[in-house]
Structure 1
C-alpha cells in the first residue's frame, strides 16, 4: 500500500490525513506535541475549562464532510449549536449593539442603532455575498498555482467581475463608501482581523467575510471548540490513521528532487507522499535546510498574533454572550501599533469569549470562563513581561468602561498565552495566527502553494499556506491537498 506521512496534527494535518486515507494511502501523522489539534487545544484551570485557540466556528459543513467521506453520520460523532447572536459590541460612550445572525434582522437593528439606511446595509450584505459567490471557487477551493485552475468557467466568471471585487481599495475605504457612522464602519472593519490583517491596508474583497457569518451562521460545538480537533482525531483513529506524539520531525528526506520520507533524530521513515502541516517558515528553515527556499514568499509580512488572558470569573454578566467585542476609540492607531510599531496599543480592542454561556460545565454555577484576547504584534523579541502588564491594565480599564465593573477582584484563576507561547507551542513563525498577513491586494496569490514546485510529492496544508488561516480555510487547504495528491498506484 502507498504510504503518506503528515507532519503536524493541527486541524489541517488531521483533515489532510483523513482525505489521504480515503484515497487509499496508509497514513501516519507525526506530532511534536503530546496531543492532537495544534492551536485547537484546551486547558483546565481549577473548575474552569478553556479553549486555548480559535474561538469562532463557522462553515461547520466542512467538518461534517470529513465524516460523510467515510459514510459516517456526522451528528453521531460531532454536534454543535447555532447561535442566534453573532456578537455583542460595546463602545466607551455607552453605545451597545447586538448583532443578530439573520441579515434582515441585523440590518433593521443596525439601521436603528447607527442611524444608517437599512437599504444601504442590506445592499452591503448582498455585495458581500456576491464577492463570496464569485471568488470562493477560485480563491478558496482550488490551488491558485495550477494552470488548470484558470481554465475553468468559475475563474472566467470571477475575472470578468474583477472590478467589482475592490482589490484596489482597502476594506476601510469600501466600508466608508457605504456608511457614514464611524461605529458601523469599525464594526465591518473588524473582519480584517479574521485573517490577521489591518482593515486600512487589506483589500476590500475582505468585505465578503460577513457573508460567512450570516449565511453559514456561527456555532459552538458541544464540548467546546476543542471538540472539533478531538472528533476528527477519533475519526482518524477509527479509519486507520496512525499517530505518533512527542515525535519532532528533524528533516524531510529528498532524493532526486522528490520527497522520500522524513527523519526523526537518527531514525528514517520512508514514504511515497509527505505533507507538512507545519508553518512554511520552519518547514523550510528546519526541515529542508539544504533545499532552495521561496525567499520572496517567506519574507512576506506576517499576520498579527494575540495576547490572551484566560480568567475564571466568580460572577455572571447577562449583557455578555459567547462573542463580545469592546472597541478601541482609535482603531486606525491600534493597527498602526500592531503592524508598524510592533507594540501593544494603550486602548486596545478587547474580545471576550465565554463558552460557559452555552456549555455550563465549563465553569462552576454562578461563574464564567472568560477568554480575553487582544490583537498583538508578532514576537520580535519585545519586552513581553512589560507588555503583558501594560495590556492587562488597559484591558481591565476597557472592561470597566463597558460593563461598569472592576473585574480584577472577580478573577479566581488565570492563565496567559502571548505570541512567544503561540510560537513555541505551534511552531507558528513569530506567533502569527494566520501565516502571512493579507495587507496586499495580491495577497491571495502570494501565499505559499499547497505543493512544492521544486520537490515532487511534497505538499503543504494549514494556516500558513493557500488559502489562509482560520478553521474553514485550513480545512479547505487539506481539501486542496487531497485533490492534488495522485491516487496511489
Structure 2
C-alpha cells in the first residue's frame, strides 16, 4: 500500500467511532466506517412516534468543547456547524414530602437552594464542589486524557504530580460514605449519590473518586444542542463526510483479519477489506467474542461486572407541565434499597428513582402544541435472563403511580403514544453486551485501571474506542477515548 494514503477502518459509527474517524482523516488516512445499523450514532440515536421526536439515548450534554475540538481540527469554525445553549437550571429534583430543589448552574444559587431546602449549608456544598474540582484536576491529565496502559505516560512531571496526590481523589471510601460524611440531609446525600449512575455504578460500592462527576456539570456547565442531542451525531457525521471518509451502513463486519500478528483489515461476508489500522468502536466484549474468535481473549477484563442498564418509556403526553424542567428527577425515599435490587437482587424495586427528560421544553418542535415528549427512565440491572416482560409491566405501573402522585395528575390518561427500550433491545440494537450502558461498572476502587486499554497489547494496528474501554462511558469520555486512540496512532 506504499505510495497511497494510509488506510483505516473503523467498526461502528457510535460517537467515539465517528470522532476517531474524523481524527484519522485529519491525519491523512483514507477512512471507511462500517456500521451495522441504518444510521450513525449507536446509543446516541433518535425515535419518532407520531408527531413526537425523542432523543433515544444520552440526554445530558456536558463538555461541548470536546465536540468543538473536532471541528477546529478539521479547520472549521464549530459555531458555524454546531450550536448549543448553556442551561440555567441543570436539573430539578422532586421528593415525596413535596420538596423541590433546582440545581442551578450558578454555583452560589445552587448552594443557597440546598441551604434553603435542606438541613445542609451553602458552605457544605461549596466545600464539596471544591473537592470535586480537586479530584478532576488530579485525574484529568492522567486518567482521562491519556492511556493508563503505556508506561511512558507515567514518566512525566504532570503524571508524577498526580500520582503523588492519589489519596486526595478519595479512592478508599465509597461515594455514599464520603457524601454521608459531608452532608446531614438525606436529600442532599441522594442528590450527589445519583452521580454514580452517570457511569452505571452503585454509590454504595463505587469509590468516592466518582465525586469528580458533579464538577463536569457545575463547573463546565450543562448544555442543550440546537436540534436535540441527535444533532451532535448529525453535525459530526456531516463533518466526517466533509473530511473525506466513507460510511457504510447496514454492514455487518464478520471478522477482524490478522496477518503475522497484525490487524490487516476486516472481512465482510466473503470479501476482505485491507487496512493499515483497525479501530473497534464495538463493545469490547462483542469485539472479542464475534470478531476475534481465534485469539485468546482477555477473560479477566471481559468477565468484569457489567454496568447497569436502563428501562426507558418514550411517552407522548397530551398535556404541558410548567412545573417540569428539561431534566427532572423523582427520588425514592430508600435509595439504598433501590441499588440493592439492581446490584444484588438483579431486579427492579417497587419505588425506583425516575429520570424524566423533556426536550420539547427547549426544542418545541419535538412535540405538538400543548403536549410534551417524556423520556422516562429508571436504572435497572443488565440482562442476565430476568423475566423482563413482568419487570417492565410492574415498573410501568409503579412509575405511573409515583409520577401521578407527585404531579397530582393521572399521567396514564395523558399518554397518546408509547415506545419502550429495555436491556434486551439495547443489546440487540447497539451490540452492548447484556444491555449494559457503560461496559463494565465502576464498583471497585481500581475500576479505572481494569477497563480495557485503547490498544491491543497482542495485535499491532488494532485499537479500541467507545464507552466500554478506557476512560469510560458517556459522551465526554467516549470522545476522549477517540482522542487517546488518535495519540496512540503515531
TM-score range, shorter chain: over 0.9
Correspondence 1:280 to 2:284 = yes
Shift of 1:115: 2.3
Correspondence 1:456 to 2:437 = no
Residue 358 of structure 1 corresponds to which residue in structure 2? 362
Shift of 1:371: 0.2
Correspondence 1:84 to 2:88 = yes
* Partner SS for 2:219: helix
Distance 2:296 2:27 in 1: 30
Residue 24 of structure 2 corresponds to which residue in structure 1? 20
* Partner SS for 2:154: helix
Residue 444 of structure 2 corresponds to which residue in structure 1? 440
Residue 345 of structure 2 corresponds to which residue in structure 1? 341
Distance 2:124 2:42 in 1: 41
Correspondence 1:390 to 2:391 = no
Residue 312 of structure 1 corresponds to which residue in structure 2? 316
Shift of 1:382: 1.2
Shift of 1:376: 0.7
Correspondence 1:166 to 2:170 = yes
Residue 253 of structure 1 corresponds to which residue in structure 2? 257
Match of 1:70 among 61, 68, 74: 74
Contact 1:307 1:419 in 2 (8 A): yes
Distance 2:405 2:104 in 1: 24
1:5-40 Cα deviation digits (max 9, x unpaired): 000000000000001111110000000001101011
Distance 2:106 2:436 in 1: 32
Residue 380 of structure 1 corresponds to which residue in structure 2? 384
Match of 1:215 among 213, 216, 219: 219
| Alignment TM-score, normalising by the size of structure 1 | 0.99
Correspondence 1:32 to 2:41 = no
Shift of 1:432: 0.5
Residue 191 of structure 2 corresponds to which residue in structure 1? 187
Residue 141 of structure 2 corresponds to which residue in structure 1? 137
| Alignment TM-score, normalising by the size of structure 2 | 0.98
Correspondence 1:426 to 2:430 = yes
Residue 8 of structure 1 corresponds to which residue in structure 2? 12
Match of 2:294 among 290, 293, 313: 290
1:209-260 Cα deviation digits (max 9, x unpaired): 1110011111111110001111100100111010111110000001111000
Contact 2:196 2:206 in 1 (8 A): yes
1:189-223 Cα deviation digits (max 9, x unpaired): 00000000000011001111111001111111111
Contact 1:134 1:154 in 2 (8 A): no
**Unmatched tracts of structure 1, length 5 or more:** none
Shift of 1:401: 2.4
Match of 1:152 among 150, 156, 167: 156
Distance 2:126 2:463 in 1: 41
Residue 97 of structure 2 corresponds to which residue in structure 1? 93
Distance 2:439 2:373 in 1: 28
Residue 53 of structure 1 corresponds to which residue in structure 2? 57
Correspondence 1:402 to 2:411 = no
Q: Which runs of 4+ in 1 moved over 4 A?
A: none
Residue 43 of structure 1 corresponds to which residue in structure 2? 47
Contact 1:396 1:407 in 2 (8 A): yes
Correspondence 1:476 to 2:480 = yes
Count residues with an aligned counterpart: 486
Shift of 1:341: 1.1
